[in-house]
Structure 1
Amino acid sequence: MNKSSFGTHFTVTTWGESHGKALGAVVDGCPAGLSLCEEDIQKFLDRRKPGQSRYTTARKEGDLVEILSGIFEGKTTGTPISLIVRNTDQRSRDYGNIALSYRPGHADYTFDAKYGFRDYRGGGRSSGRETIGRVASGAIASKILETLGISFCTYTKSIGPVSIKKFDSEEINNNAFYMPDADAAARAGAYLEKCMKSQDSAGGVVECRITGVPAGLGSPVFEKLDAVLAQAVMSVGAVKAVEIGDGTEVAHMNGSDDNDGFHFENGQISKTSNHAGGIMGGISDGSEIILRAYIKPTPSISQPQETTTCNGKNISLEIHGRHDPVIVPRAVVVIESMCALAITDALFANMTSRLDYIQKFYTK
């Protein structure tokens, strides 16, 4: 398997399959001296684990993380940090009917086309369960960023046709959908009940707001910060589009509306608006970074769907097993984690962008 790693200076490599013995990640490039324990990582994993509500898969996994290396006396040593989460509730028999057929909306056919072989039990490496390694690694990145005053507010902006109408950050963790709007959460629940009765699923939008990012991160050409963030988030299997700032709305705006002005006051430069979403010319501008991820409906549904077998026989297939009617709520922490990994890597890369940064570091 190629390209299971992300990052250049803060590097994460994920491993494992949905129905294998375990999943995990190896984090390389974490500085020594960071206070870190399994509880720090577990808090993130608990946000994505299954069985949180009737709107998530009934698979019963504790998703308990173990740190195998890179920590001594509660602090990182600067060496690779190896993380493992063991699978405990696989039901591989649920996937027996797809051993020779391709599930619509899944990576079954494309995986087979690339490798000529696939683990059909839950999708193997293509399963959403692969995101465990991303989230565990993202927890470490987030703790690094926290020491620098960089924070995240990530939530569900919409599910199906239901969008939030108001914003209350205290409400995000009070409902099953991580929505900052209690009324919208209730309407989303009613909509999903209809989807479940018709054996269907729904998609939605996750919004991530990042505050405290200094100006100057990213590069002006191929390693633009918005390009790196988009690549990080688009690497999540269910994500089909990414917006930053005004996103696709810029196509319908005039320059006089879309341009962010600048203002100098109290010795600091700030912007008069934030249509750019915190990134201009591929480089962070010091204002809040605003990113939205558009997530497709769960492809595993119990309705009959047209497909074919690997032997070329056309069939009608119904997906059995335990599946989320909506992926969006559990994806919230996944999107946040990938953004944290991208920002951390960009911060580390930026340390050598100017001679005065290097001189300041090495001159006593």
Structure 2
Amino acid sequence: MSSEFGRILRVSVFGQSHGRAIGFNMDGLPAGEPIDLEALYAFLDRRKPGKSPLSTARRESDTPIFLSGLENGVTCGAPLCAIIENSDQHSSDYSELADKPRPSHADYTAWVKWGGQADMRGGGHFSGRLTAPLCIAGGIAKQILARRGIYIGAHLASVGAESDSPFPLHPTAALFDQVAAKPFPVLDDHAGERMQALILEARQNLDSVGGTIECAAIGLPAGLGDPMFDGIENRLAAALFGIPAVKGVEFGLGFGSARLHGSENNDPFTVEDGKIVTESNRAGGILGGITTGMPITLRVAMKPTPSISQAQRTVSLSAMEDTELVIRGRHDPCIAHRAVPVVEAVTATVLLDLLLEGHHGTF
């Protein structure tokens, strides 16, 4: 089904933005894994809305209610299922949208696919609200991976034309923690101030702005993955594109490598402390779909929030004629900074699935 991903570790996400609850089911988790709930809540708080003028004013506690799979804070082998109850919906803000699809939203395509029966209040099942259960699953995956010496971190790489510093060649878990503890997830705080000013300017202009997120994973062994159609990039990209508003994914230098010669793009091999490494990491830690042992690095492009308060051209589905729409409600002037932990979560979940697959479902 389209709302599922994973092979050994199978994750399905359910619910609608303005429904009673949203949630996830994760099957295939190894039993006996302790989960630090306080650390998990802190991770979820990084994505939570309503904390500043940089995001939507919708306020949700986003506290998960575990229905199965967790006993006394330890995984028990049963499918792990959790829900988050919705409590701050303003569904009346969306009454006009049943007839007037929002530009660059899924309103029109959902109307066509499901014959006008889709619940599109707040974006329905297409909403960024569905990234909250993704973060529960990924936050748990991050804890399990960390106990094996594998760490995942991300930062906001850019907003509009303003850019943060990139991760160093060898990012550390301490650096990941340092960025995660900041109210605005950047490496260079001065660049972060410029990004925040750009977001606030977009809000003031009844507009929105896009951004990019850089994510890295360290501690992975060399040799993980497969060639051709089942490589590390393939598996990660398929899941990352499931995050609402993601329009591009690249690994290592990505599209930048197309501007170089081979002599500039190649990563020379060397031996360091008895281990084969590369002097640079333009490949992003992946060659032929298989990990090299260097950090995996990837970037995700997030489009500007399509819900803006300016008047926009659209159509009336009932009258089949052109019309105008002014979107009401509470919306993010930029999605990207709140999506940083979401990218970490999805990356962690995919990597845990790949490791479980290589170890036949157990460690």
Tell me the TM-score normalised to structure 2 length.
0.93
Q: Distance in 1 between matches of 2:9 and 2:166?
A: 36
Q: Deviation per CA, 1:310-331, whole angstroms, max 9, x where unpaired?
A: 2212111011000010001110
Pick one of 342, 350, 354 that aligns with 1:334: 342
Q: 1 CA distance for matches of 2:280 and 2:37? A: 40
What residue in structure 1 maps to residue 172 of structure 2?
A: none
Q: Could you tell me how far apart the structure 1 residues matched to 2:34 and 2:182 are?
A: 31
* Offset at residue 73 of structure 1 (A): 2.6
Aligned partner of 1:214 in structure 2 is 221
Query: Is the Cα–Cα contact under 8 Å of residues 200 and 333 in structure 2 kept in the other structure?
Result: no
- The one-letter amino acid of 1:317's match is L
1:144 aligns with 2:106: no
Deviations 1:143-200 (A, max 9, x none): 1111110112211011111112477947634654311111111111222222112100
How far off its partner does 1:267 sit? 3.1
Structure 2 alignment gaps of length 5 or more: 169-174
Instruction: Report the counterpart of residue 58 of structure 1 in structure 2.
Output: 57
Distance 1:105 1:227 in 2: 26
Deviates more, 1:267-276 or 1:173-182: 173-182
The one-letter code matched in structure 2 to 1:343 is: L
Report the Cα distance in structure 2 between the residues aligned to 1:341 and 1:319, rounded to whole angstroms: 35
Matched, 1:23 2:22: yes
Deviates more, 1:157-166 or 1:204-213: 157-166
1:128 maps to what in 2?
128
Structure 1 position 86 matched with structure 2 position 85: yes
Instruction: Tell me the alpha carbon deviations over residues 116-165 of structure 1, each in whole angstroms, 9 at most, x when there is no partner.
Output: 12112111101110111211100111111111101122110111111124
Indicate if the aligned counterparts of 2:215 and 2:299 stay in contact, CA closer than 8 A.
yes
Task: After TM superposition, give the deviation of residue 309 of structure 1 in Å.
Answer: 1.9
CA distance in 2, matches of 1:133, 1:309: 34
CA shift in 2, pair 1:72/1:283, >3 Å: same
Are the counterparts in 1 of residues 251 and 284 from structure 2 also a CA contact under 8 Å?
yes
Secondary structure at the counterpart of residue 230 of structure 2: coil
Are 1:38 and 1:66, in contact at CA under 8 Å, matched by a contact in 2? no
CA distance in 1, matches of 2:347, 2:214: 11
Question: Residue type of the partner of 1:142?
Answer: K
- Letter of the 2:190 partner, please give it: D
2:278 alignment partner in structure 1:
271
Deviations 1:38-66 (A, max 9, x none): 43432221111111211110011111111
SS at match of 2:68: coil
> Given that residues 53 and 200 in structure 2 are in contact (C-alpha distance below 8 angstroms), is that contact kept between their aligned partners in structure 1?
no
- Residue 353 of structure 2: aligned partner: 345
Selected match of 1:324 from 329, 332, 338: 332
Tell me, in whole angstroms, the C-alpha distance in 2 between the residues paired with 1:51 and 1:306: 29
Q: What TM-score do you get using the length of structure 1 for normalisation?
A: 0.93
Over 3 Å counting, the alpha-carbon distance change for 1:30 and 1:166 in structure 2 is closer
Matched length? 354
SS in 1 for 2:61: coil
The residue type paired with residue 30 of structure 1 is: L
* Percent sequence identity over aligned pairs: 43
Q: Residue 290 of structure 1 is aligned with which of 294, 297, 304?
A: 297
Q: CA deviation at 1:352?
A: 5.0
Superposed displacement of residue 213, structure 1? 0.9
Task: Structure 1: state its 5+ residue gaps.
Answer: none
Tell me if structure 1 keeps the 8 A contact 2:157–2:166: no
Q: 1:258 to 1:303 in 2, by over 3 A?
A: same
Residue 228 of structure 1, aligned match among 209, 212, 235: 235
Does residue 1:48 correspond to 2:56, yes or no? no
* Preserved CA contact (<8 Å) 2:23 2:83: yes
Identify if the C-alpha distance between structure 1 residues 171 and 9 changes in structure 2 by more than 3 Å, giving closer, same or farther: closer
**Preserved contact between residue 165 and residue 187 of structure 2 (Cα < 8 Å):** no
1:238 aligns with 2:237: no
Asked whether the 8 Å contact 2:37–2:73 carries over to 1, the reply is: no
